[in-house]
Chains A and B, each alone.
Chain A
Amino acid sequence: DTAVSQTPKYLVTQMGNDKSIKCEQNLGHDTMYWYKQDSKKFLKIMFSYNNKELIINETVPNRFSPKSPDKAHLNLHINSLELGDSAVYFCASSQGVGFTYNSPLHFGNGTRLTVT
């Protein structure tokens, strides 16, 4: 299946821990993203990578570190987790460089992170 897949789907952890979320896309897209969907349901961009290069970093705490080993993968590592990090994190991809008119975002199914 052609898709954006992210793992794990659920992640429950304690404050202070470090965790990673993995994302892979087999759509051949050049740009990948991480979005955070908070309790109010707004989707907010965190990072965007084009061909392994960071192109958007939206004032995210430096506890969050994305890593793109190749253009098909964009992982998210979070250090020293805090209660406020609890949210659903979505990986997405699109054709072209960054946000372009004719390319919708293709989202994964999300990772629900709960920090206790």
Chain B
Amino acid sequence: KNQVEQSPQSLIILEGKNCTLQCNYTVSPFSNLRWYKQDTGRGPVSLTIMTFSENTKSNGRYTATLDADTKQSSLHITASQLSDSASYICVVTPRGGSYIPTFGRGTSLIVHP
């Protein structure tokens, strides 16, 4: 069964600090992995996408890494801001079949001033 596990479940950091969120998956064969940001009361918004051959992808202060061999991804946030407070969801799409993505539960990040 395809699964996506994220850690930590929640994280509290001070404004200006860096943090790293983890994603482990069992989806195979693998097509792509996306990170979404979901603000409270809003729908998720895509931050980055990576395919099997990509190791790293940046979007401003967000940098995602992927190790397809160990089936792990991380999302690194640099110089956090209050507006980074949100849930970050890892989504893995299989290759083949109906390509239905599997969503992780998300990591809830709170940035304090």
Number of A interface residues, CB 8 Å?
23
The chain A residues found within 8 Å of chain B, CB to CB, are 4, 40-45, 55-56, 58, 90, 92, 98-101, 104-110
- The docked-state distance in angstroms from the alpha carbon of A45 to that of B41 is 19
A-B contact count (CB 8 A): 50
By the criterion CB–CB under 8 Å, are A109 and B42 in contact?
Answer: yes
Closest Cβ of chain B to A27, distance in Å, is: 13
Interface of chain A: mostly helix, strand, loop or mixed = loop
Specify which chain A residues have a CB less than 8 angstroms from the CB of B51 in the assembled complex. Answer: 101
Interface status of B46 (Cβ within 8 A of chain A):
yes
Contact A99-B42, Cβ < 8 Å, known A41-B105, A43-B103: no
By the criterion CB–CB under 8 Å, are A42 and B93 in contact?
Answer: no
Q: Which of B17-55 contact A (CB under 8 A)?
A: 31-32, 34, 41-46, 49, 51
Specify which chain B residues have a CB less than 8 angstroms from the CB of A55 in the assembled complex. Answer: 98
